[in-house]
Amino acid sequence: MIDTVSNGVGWIVRVAAHPATAVAASQANTQQADFGAVLGSETSQKTQSSRAAETADESATTSADTLASVLASANATAAAATADSASTASAAIAVTPAASDTTSTSTTKPGVMALVQAMMNGTFQTSYVTDPAKLTQQTTYGTDMMPADYYASDATANQMAQLLGGKVVHLQPFHAGMYVEPTANFIELPNGQTFNAADVAYYSRYGDLSQNQMLACVTQTINQGAAWTSYNQSGGKGTMPEFALGYVGPPISGMDYPAGTIGADGNVINPALQGVAT
């Protein structure tokens, strides 16, 4: 079985009888940054009501007038403390929407740019299925294990679907024939293009690439991945997909692209091929 994933310049050929094994071109000097979450601290305030009550008990005498005076003072103190606490809580609550609004205004519209930016700033990190039971393939000779490289975790697929504005669907990665492969997480876009989430998630390790190169790589992999999905899900009917060196294809329909990233031929420009003779 043959599958491909783009490497920016061309595409990586993945050849398999079953299970499939990947042959990927190495890329040097890559960096991957981890960004920790910025955690806010919680603050608590103590009211004086308990202390006031204790003061009242300690100050009480057998004189009814004195006791009444002390209790009145204690109640007034407690009421003031409670009002102060409520006022502080209201102020804290009033601040919360402002923080939420700030976050929402910085959120990018779902699409390839949202995914590329998340990969570049480290908020999208890839993980893969680790449970052997979810990687086990049934064959005519028993069972064997599929490579985890084709199986993005649920968390990775769900985040990708949200960033792209698509949904997660479960499909077998290849045309398995008589074999029964475990299903993998695929992303189905609103335009119908469907691809293996693991293929696109691969690029999260290359966040140090330029934005336009990342955009080309992600677009290329979605376009080619959708072609492979269609071929594999048809049972291998028709012509096996083939792509020219460095071919990216058109922008993903319904998604925004920065100015200057689409060529005169209507295809997304691959910066890696600029100035390269064809």
pLDDT tens digits, 213-255? 999 999 999 999 999 999 998 888 889 999 999 999 999 999 9
Cβ-contact 124, 163 below 8 angstroms: yes
Q: What is the mean pLDDT of residues 109-129?
A: 96
Burial bucket for residue 130 (CB in 10 Å: 0-12, 13-18, 19+): exposed
pLDDT, position 141: 87
pLDDT, position 165: 97
Cβ-contact 268, 116 below 8 angstroms: no
- 43 versus 199: the higher-pLDDT residue is 199
Mind listing the pLDDT tens digit for each residue in 177-226?
A: 778 899 999 999 999 999 999 999 999 999 899 999 999 999 999 999 99
SS3 274: coil
pTM: 0.63
Share of the chain above pLDDT 90, in %: 52
DSSP 121-161: HTS----B---GGGTEEEETTEEEE--GGG-B-HHHHHHHH
Residue 25: pLDDT over 90: no
The alpha carbon dihedral of 34, 146, 5, 191 has a sign of: negative
**Whole-angstrom Cα distance, residue 8 to residue 16?**
22
Residue 160: pLDDT over 70: yes
Token couple for 261: 């990233």
Q: What is the mean pLDDT of residues 62-81?
A: 43
- 221 versus 33: the higher-pLDDT residue is 221
Which H or E run includes 21?
Answer: strand 20-22
Place of tokens 């009814």: 64
**Whole-angstrom Cα distance, residue 107 to residue 8?**
27
pLDDT, position 275: 67
Which residues, 6+ apart, have CB-to-CB distance to 47 below 8 Å?
78, 81, 82, 84, 85
Nearest CA to 154 among 115, 198, 194, 119?
198
Residue 259: pLDDT over 70: yes
| Helical ranges in the chain per DSSP H | 49-59, 64-105, 112-121, 154-164, 197-201, 211-233
pLDDT, position 236: 84
Cβ-contact 30, 206 below 8 angstroms: yes
pLDDT, position 108: 75
pLDDT, position 107: 55
**Whole-angstrom Cα distance, residue 218 to residue 119?**
10
Token couple for 126: 């890839």
Low-confidence winner among 88-97, 118-127, 205-214, 263-272 (lowest mean pLDDT): 88-97
Token couple for 1: 């079985």
Nearest CA to 20 among 175, 130, 126?
175
pLDDT, position 71: 40
**Whole-angstrom Cα distance, residue 139 to residue 75?**
78
Low-confidence winner among 70-74, 137-141, 142-146, 235-239 (lowest mean pLDDT): 70-74
Nearest CA to 195 among 225, 167, 155, 231?
225
